[in-house]
Amino acid sequence: MTTADFDIVEVIRAKRDHGELSDAQIRWALDAYVKGEVADEQVAALLMAVLLNGLDPRELSTWTAAMIDSGERLDLSVLSRPTVDKHSTGGVGDKVSLILAPLVAACGAAVPQLSGRGLGHTGGTLDKLEAIPGWRAVLSNEEIVAQLEEVGCVICAAGDGLAPADRKLYSLRDVTGTVESIPLISASIMSKKIAEGTSSLVLDVKVGIGAFMKDLDRASQLARTMVGLGRDHGVATVAVLTDMDTPLGRAAGNGLEVAESVEVLQGGGPRDVVELTVALAREMLALAGITGVDPAQRLADGSAYEVYRAMIAAQGGDPDATMEIAPVVHRVLAESDGTLARLDAMGVGVAAWRLGAGRARKEHAVSPRAGVVCCAKPGDAVVRGETILELHTDDEATVPRALAALDGALDIVEGSVATAPLILERVYG
């Protein structure tokens, strides 16, 4: 196709006026944008029209296919193991990928985790792993395939060649107020996951105050949309909707989360992290067709930890490295006796970000030491004067703004409190 095939203004008008775009129009528009043949402001107008008027299932499937076809696809057909991946929509303290990939590999699957970096209050998997001395995020396609065959899992950055249309569209959505569109979110996530070559995929869709999706209805809609896209493109997909009103685990921050992940891999760690990791592992193994293996046992007996060590070493990291402790640790104390009834995930996430664990823009650096440790979680009894939270930072000047983010973020009440379930819903294709 050439720029003469269609008129971008006509494509914008069609979607603006609630019309359906043809497959050819969609493919041409995205291809022309990647090639620089249509302007950012024109595609911005198209994205706004999609935000306001949506894409029907056929349009969305074609839109996603065009994003996949804008670049290369990783060929994992040479592997001797079945492939399965997991994607989380992002939350506070969500270090599950660091545990889950080696756990599922220890059960016999190959797990190609092509991950990203954090932005704002949600942490990025690559930022966490880069707290490990020597670990590298960037691998060639050949290295990815070789590591999957030899170790069983890889966590690394997605190559520039995978779904380049998504990178351009994502940057444009970020500055045009079109991030919230469920079709555009779904196409962004699924185009990258399908392009990475996995045969099956489990989606962890976070719901709650600390998540991108605040309410269950919209989260369910997003989950159903992504599961449908996976089915349309030959990737067996399941979505699990999980609570993100409260931080997951006790640590929120890069090196802090690595240390907590190792604790889980060694048979300990917070109960909620173990529960979610094992639940997602079971979904992944079912999709991969692996039966007769109990992921809880592989976690408890050290098998997953050995795979984790091999994965880190294969990417140049030191699996025995001790995470550095921040030079400044400020303690937030309980103001009364009682039970911690609420610990706001958004407040904790923003505090960790302001302490240096996150970034405001993609090019900003993050601290491997900064973050928040939750010494108590909802349902725990607390005593006046004991530590509820630890704020870790390289710079004491960051503490006041972190404390401001935590203002009103926790409640202590008399008597016992009921805690919400971690897993809210499952969506199967």
Confidence category of residue 174, pLDDT binned at 50, 70, 90: confident
Print the SS3 string covering 286-330. Answer: HHHCCCCCCHHHHHHCCHHHHHHHHHHHHCCCCCCCCCCCCCEEE
| CATH code for position 58 | 1.20.970.10
**Position 238 in a domain:** yes
CA distance 66 to 29: 9
Question: pLDDT at residue 360 above 80?
Answer: no
Write down the pLDDT at residue 159.
Answer: 84
Question: pLDDT at residue 2 above 60?
Answer: no
| CATH code for position 222 | 3.40.1030.10
CA distance 429 to 422: 22
Domain match, 361 and 285 both? no
pTM (predicted TM-score): 0.95
Question: pLDDT at residue 315 above 70?
Answer: yes
| CATH code for position 344 | 3.90.1170.30
Domain match, 283 and 341 both? no
Question: pLDDT at residue 320 above 60?
Answer: yes
pLDDT tens by residue, 240-292: 999 999 999 999 999 999 999 999 999 999 999 999 999 999 999 999 999 99
Q: How many domains does the chain have?
A: 3
Q: How far is CA 256 from the centre of its chain?
A: 17
Domain match, 250 and 316 both? yes
Domain match, 351 and 409 both? yes
Domain match, 196 and 294 both? yes
pLDDT tens by residue, 42-89: 999 999 999 999 999 999 999 999 999 999 999 999 999 999 999 999
Domain match, 223 and 254 both? yes
Domain match, 311 and 257 both? yes
**Position 356 in a domain:** yes
Domain match, 37 and 115 both? no
Mark which of 24, 40, 69 sits at the end of a domain.
Answer: 69
How are the residues of the chain apportioned to helix, strand and coil, as percentages rounded to the nearest 5? 45, 15, 40
Domain match, 99 and 183 both? yes
Write down the pLDDT at residue 429.
Answer: 80
Domain match, 384 and 302 both? no
Which domain does 57 fall in, by range?
Answer: 8-69
Confidence category of residue 4, pLDDT binned at 50, 70, 90: low
Domain match, 107 and 23 both? no
Active site residues: 87, 166, 173, 188, 192
Q: Of all residues in the chain, what percent carry a pLDDT higher than 90?
A: 91
Confidence category of residue 358, pLDDT binned at 50, 70, 90: confident
Confidence category of residue 119, pLDDT binned at 50, 70, 90: low
